[in-house]
Amino acid sequence: MNESDSKELMRIYSQRFDAVQEYRRRVWEVLVPHFFQQFVPSSAAILDLGCGYGEFINVVQARTRFGMDMNPNSKTHLSTGVQFFQQDCSKRWPLRDGELDVVFTSNFFEHLPDKETLSRTLEEAFRCLKPQGKLIALGPNIKFTHGRYWDFWDHYLPLTELSLTEGLRTRGFTIESCRSRFLPYTMVGGRQFPLWMVKIYVRFPLLWRIAGQQFLVVARKP
């Protein structure tokens, strides 16, 4: 990534998220302990792929925490103890084979330019995960977002839960869980619901079928 690309990414992040950043932070402070922590043992080494401003990785409880993003500003938002990698995710990660217990990614794969880039990224996740390690991925499901998917300047790669799981299987993963509907599409430009409603929402999958427009896939390295 050249300097011009870095500046463009910083501008996009700032314009899109600065106004809702505090609300996003508080929402993830609910989502992590009330849902995602169940997938992450406290002794785990975890990488947040496309960590953004650290909403997930700053909250999750784990022995070792890494964040990866192309935005150089991401580092300034990460908590002490989170090691940051600013790099192209499709290039070799600066981690040993089998070093990670969990790779987590939220609303990131759709920003990759093509399937080849995603393929190389999944291969790196597979390499760096321990046997029985997990990849947890959520993102907009093109089945349900339809034209709204393209409302964001840097959306390139439309996916469904089935296209992602097929790609994961062909790269050696087994699928532990696959949900076509999970969270609503976006917190940008929408209503800011009270946090007690967020707690209720994640506890009742029936609500996901009504409002969910993001998939949730949990895959395992055999």
How confident is the model over 72-116, as pLDDT tens digits? 999 999 999 999 999 999 999 999 999 999 999 999 999 999 999
Give the three-state DSSP class for 90. coil
The stretch 48-65 carries a mean pLDDT of 97
The residue range of the domain holding 194 is: 3-220
Q: How many domains does the chain have?
A: 1
Strands of 64-69's sheet, edge to edge? 82-86, 64-69, 45-49, 100-106, 129-140, 214-220, 174-179
What is the C-alpha to C-alpha distance for residues 209 and 44, in angstroms, rounded to an integer? 31
What is the model's pLDDT at position 10?
58
- First-to-last alpha carbon distance for the chain, in angstroms, is 33
Backbone angles phi, psi at 123, to 5 degrees: -65, -40
Strands, E assignment, 107-173: 129-140
What is the model's pLDDT at position 21?
76
Whole-angstrom CA distances from 126 to 29, 122, 170 are: 28, 6, 11
pLDDT tens sequence across 167-190:
999 999 999 999 999 999 876 656
Residue labelled with tokens 């994961």? 168
The stretch 162-166 carries a mean pLDDT of 98
Host H or E run for residue 100: strand 100-106
What is the model's pLDDT at position 5?
59
List, in sequence order, every residue forming a beta bridge with 178; answer none if it has no partner: 217
CATH number at residue 141: 3.40.50.150
The stretch 125-151 carries a mean pLDDT of 96
What is the model's pLDDT at position 82?
98
